[in-house]
Structure 1
Amino acid sequence: MLRGVLDQLGEMGNLVPRYTQPRCLLDRHAVGGCAVCVDACPHEAVTVNAGGYAVEIDPERCTGCGLCVQSCPSGALEYDLLAPLESVQQQRATAAGEATLTCSQSGAGGPQLPCLGRVTPALLTAAGGWGIPLTLIHGECESCPVGRPDVPQRLLGVMNETQTLRRATGRPAEVTLRPAVPEDGERAQKLTRRGAFSALFRAGSQQLAQRLPERPLPFVDWSEPEQRTPAEWQWRKKALGTPLPQDVGIDWPAPVVDDSCIDCPVCANVCPTQAITRNLQPEGGVRLLLDLSACTGCMACLRSCPPQAIHEQRQWLSPAFELPILLRESDSVM
């Protein structure tokens, strides 16, 4: 009976990532556009549409490797983060406090992703926040039909980004990346019938098989401001802990504005999460505000700013995350 339930849940999956067009820098008409997802895809499944203002994904070509999601600077492409996060947490209780994630082609036992290209800084930062050592096990990437040969190198970049973010906490994430060895084939996540059903009901549609679920994400309700921030960046902040370090700079690339600003609306218009808002004042001035927690650091505003008045600031103290930051206030609109 359990096997049948799990198989049915597996059939509900979807390898294609969710695409939220208002977050896409093409839709926002950012100067220079963006094609990192197209470049990252190893199977030519991601293309820019004929109008040049959105991307399209061919479900027949998509293998679910996640490299487009891992590369997207604005969170326009994303997979469900809860499934791998829950898997890491559950393994802590059953595997001597350690956790593993492996690619589907490695032959290793334990929880699997189609490809480790799905691993992002949010997942590694959360594991570090929970104090869970995490081992990422990959197969023969050179000949992999799912991902691409440079997945291990890309993962090293994700690991470096994670450690930079966690530096403020003084507790680096314990992450190991290695190829599979023959002994890994004997590893498996052991679940009792009672434990499996208990976790199944807790997680709703979560699949408790070796392969992590591929459930489609619901559409983003753009009228809800909290949904405009991608889960990736929401979890990056959550995983830093509460309260955040008070006197140590937190690495969170975001814009600042200098006095050459001409009060035009470009930066607010191109922002993919509406982290930048431009408010016209009754007396005719402009107030430019930044919600740091909602900023993905894509720097579309910097590239698009006509007078080049925007610059990147990489480190912020924790109070900057609590209230909107005043980037610019002028007396009159030019």
Structure 2
Amino acid sequence: MEGVLNRLGEYGNPVPRYTAPRCLLERQAVGGCDACHATCPHGAITVGPLGRSIEIDPGACTGCGLCVQVCPSGALEYDLTAPLQSVRDAGNAGEGEATLTCSQSGAGGPTLPCLGRVTPAVVAASGAWGIPLTLLHGECGACPVGAPDVPERLNRVVEEAQTLRAATGRPAQVTVRAATPEDRDRAVRVSRRGAFASLLRAGRQQVAQAIPERPLPFVDWSQPRERTPEEWRWRARSLVPAPAPDTGVHWPAPLVDDSCIDCPVCSNVCPTQAITRDLKPEGGVQLLLDLSACTGCMACLHSCPPGAIHAQEEWLPAAFGPPILLRDSDSAM
């Protein structure tokens, strides 16, 4: 019993995971970033000195997720498993649509503390699976969890996801609306084949709802795959159906021109190490870009001393394969 209680003690923390190496403040990017602090409706996030750049007050944090929505580098994040599984389960059960609703809406169905937890990856995944998604919010004006402008923020999230999905030719089917009294009695519609599986899922959900959510484990920075936030990994996975080879995919990322002085700034400030700088044995350097690991934060662009970096908004699907050669100089500067 003691072991079980100790295990439960790890739960009940709504604070998002903070990965310091991904934070633009910790990376000392020019201009820094205070997006999370500026957007938090509860004053739970403070900006401090290097080594303690972002601190979150667990007593003030409601777990709304709005800071995660605006973080440009994935330094703040929640586990995407629950919302993604809810959407996927609705499709597997043969329901007409998937729903995600905020805890204050009173609507039935899968619930999040706030729809601020919904990210472009969740919307893009629903489109990849061909599952219509309805996002039901409550009365946001006086909500104690989120913020009054959550519906507007959701529309921006949907727009970003649709821009990504444009390359697939199949936009996500998404509706954002306020919950109505009829939504409280939403019934689970399942096929006979999926009824038993749905019962099992319902049992798991009952257990999950009885135990407060558990914080994500720390990122193992020694593993290159873990340096890329789950949000961007899911965005890349959601490019289904596969875009045609000559179709541009919206994925803002840097290009380097000939005014580059071969300094290490871009690789140093990159929050996911999507840019790597390799010294060549014969002299000079190579700059390589792992496009799928790039979050488009443009810390490299804003920090580049000679201004040699420019943003490219669209890339061909082949660019998501091997690393892209951004620069290959003949001799070190």
Structure 1 residues 209-244: Cα deviation after superposition (integer angstroms, max 9, x where no partner)? 669962211111000000000000000000112644
Of 216-225 and 242-251, more deviation after overlay is shown by 242-251
Specify the alignment match of 2:330 in structure 1: 331
1:154 matched to 2:153: yes
Contact 1:113 1:212 in 2 (8 A): no
Cα deviation for residue 49 of structure 1 reads 2.1
Specify the alignment match of 1:314 in structure 2: 313
Contact 1:36 1:68 in 2 (8 A): yes
Aligned equivalents of 1:250, 1:108: Cα separation in 2: 36
TM-score of the superposed pair, with normalisation by structure 1: 0.91
Cα deviation for residue 54 of structure 1 reads 1.7
Structure 1 residues 85-141: Cα deviation after superposition (integer angstroms, max 9, x where no partner)? 011111223462310000000011111100000000000000000000000000010
Q: How does 1:44-55 map to 2 (within 5 A)?
A: 44-51=43-50, 54-55=53-54
Identity %: 68
Specify the alignment match of 1:85 in structure 2: 84
Contact 2:168 2:242 in 1 (8 A): no
Structure 1 residues 185-217: Cα deviation after superposition (integer angstroms, max 9, x where no partner)? 11255899964674489x8xx665669962211
Aligned equivalents of 1:317, 1:291: Cα separation in 2: 14
Specify the alignment match of 1:289 in structure 2: 288
Contact 2:125 2:235 in 1 (8 A): yes
Contact 1:111 1:189 in 2 (8 A): no
SS at match of 1:315: strand
Contact 2:90 2:97 in 1 (8 A): yes
SS at match of 1:261: coil
1:218 matched to 2:217: yes
Cα deviation for residue 82 of structure 1 reads 1.0
Aligned equivalents of 2:50, 2:292: Cα separation in 1: 32
Aligned equivalents of 1:193, 1:249: Cα separation in 2: 41
Contact 1:110 1:210 in 2 (8 A): no
Q: How many residues align?
A: 325
Amino acid at match of 1:14: N
SS at match of 2:100: strand
Structure 1 unaligned spans of 5+: none
Amino acid at match of 1:89: R
1:234 matched to 2:225: no
SS at match of 1:166: helix
Specify the alignment match of 2:119 in structure 1: 120
Specify the alignment match of 2:37 in structure 1: 38
Cα deviation for residue 13 of structure 1 reads 3.6
Contact 1:126 1:236 in 2 (8 A): yes
Contact 2:93 2:198 in 1 (8 A): no
Aligned equivalents of 2:211, 2:154: Cα separation in 1: 19
In 2 relative to 1, CA 281–124 (structure 1 residues): closer, same or farther, beyond 3 Å? same
Aligned equivalents of 1:264, 1:39: Cα separation in 2: 32
Specify the alignment match of 1:300 in structure 2: 299
SS at match of 2:89: helix
Q: How does 1:240-259 map to 2 (within 5 A)?
A: 240-241=239-240, 243-259=242-258
Amino acid at match of 2:248: G
TM-score of the superposed pair, with normalisation by structure 2: 0.91
1:169 matched to 2:168: yes
Aligned equivalents of 1:154, 1:263: Cα separation in 2: 39
Aligned equivalents of 2:181, 2:332: Cα separation in 1: 68
Aligned equivalents of 2:37, 2:270: Cα separation in 1: 21
Pairwise CA RMSD: 2.5
Specify the alignment match of 1:186 in structure 2: 185
SS at match of 2:287: strand
Contact 1:111 1:211 in 2 (8 A): no
Contact 2:138 2:178 in 1 (8 A): yes
Contact 1:262 1:307 in 2 (8 A): yes
Amino acid at match of 1:216: P
Specify the alignment match of 1:67 in structure 2: 66
Specify the alignment match of 2:13 in structure 1: 14
Contact 2:10 2:215 in 1 (8 A): no
Amino acid at match of 2:38: D
Aligned equivalents of 2:144, 2:94: Cα separation in 1: 30
Aligned equivalents of 2:133, 2:211: Cα separation in 1: 16
Cα deviation for residue 21 of structure 1 reads 0.4
Specify the alignment match of 1:109 in structure 2: 108
